[in-house]
Amino acid sequence: MKRALIFLPLLLLVLFIGVLLSAINNNKNPATINQPLPQFNQVALMDESKQFGNQDMPTTFYLINVWASWCNYCKQELPTLKKIAQTGVPIVGLNYRDNREQAVRILQKFANPFIFNLYDKDGTFANKLGVNATPQTYLIDNKGIIKLRYSGELTMDVWQQDFLPLIKQHKANQ
């Protein structure tokens, strides 16, 4: 019996890590998929005097990319986001719980792929989206409905395998 108790903390730790990894890798969060983009009104990252809300979002398929200057994966995916933006897909940045000046410096250092950036210092809008880590990317359709949530670095493979088929399927059904 005492031998079994010795392994109990290890078992609990493994179980906890499994649950945590499962939550982080849940890219199809049922709380957000096929739901309207939550209502929001956020200040712009680059210009504190500007505010953006739902009415300012693109009217075509677009991405919302949740990122931060302290997130290495976020910085690594910026060139991929730039390539996607060059194909004509608008990308809205959601700067998450970050230092404004550091975030602006990152966008000046790397190519800025975003049509505009929302500054979510306290994570209010991100919480409405169900953000649990950065980076996260959301595909929003032309009616403002969230079609896909991807947690992790967005690569061209992920873009082509997960995002593009949804866009093509929607266009084919119109």
Q: Does residue 155 contact residue 72 with C-beta atoms inside 8 Å? A: no
Instruction: Report pLDDT digits (tens) over 98-118.
Output: 999 999 999 999 889 999 999
Per-position DSSP letters for 31-80, written without gaps between them: TTTTSBPPP-EEEESS-TT-EEEGGGS-SSSEEEEEE-TT-HHHHHHHHH
Banded pLDDT at 22 (limits 50, 70, 90): very low
Of 145, 1, 16, 126, nearest to 68 by C-alpha is 126
What's the pTM value of the predicted model, to 2 decimals? 0.83
pLDDT tens track for 57-96: 999 999 999 999 999 999 999 999 999 999 999 999 999 9
- CATH entry 3.40.30.10 includes domain 29-172: yes
Beta strand 62-67 with 136-140 is antiparallel
Give the pLDDT confidence score for residue 66 in this predicted structure.
98
Q: Please, what is the average pLDDT of the chain? A: 88
Q: CA–CA separation, 14 vs 8, rounded Å?
A: 10
Q: What is the pLDDT of residue 16?
A: 52
More confident residue, 45 or 32: 45
Q: Which amino acid is at 98?
A: D
pLDDT of 57? 98
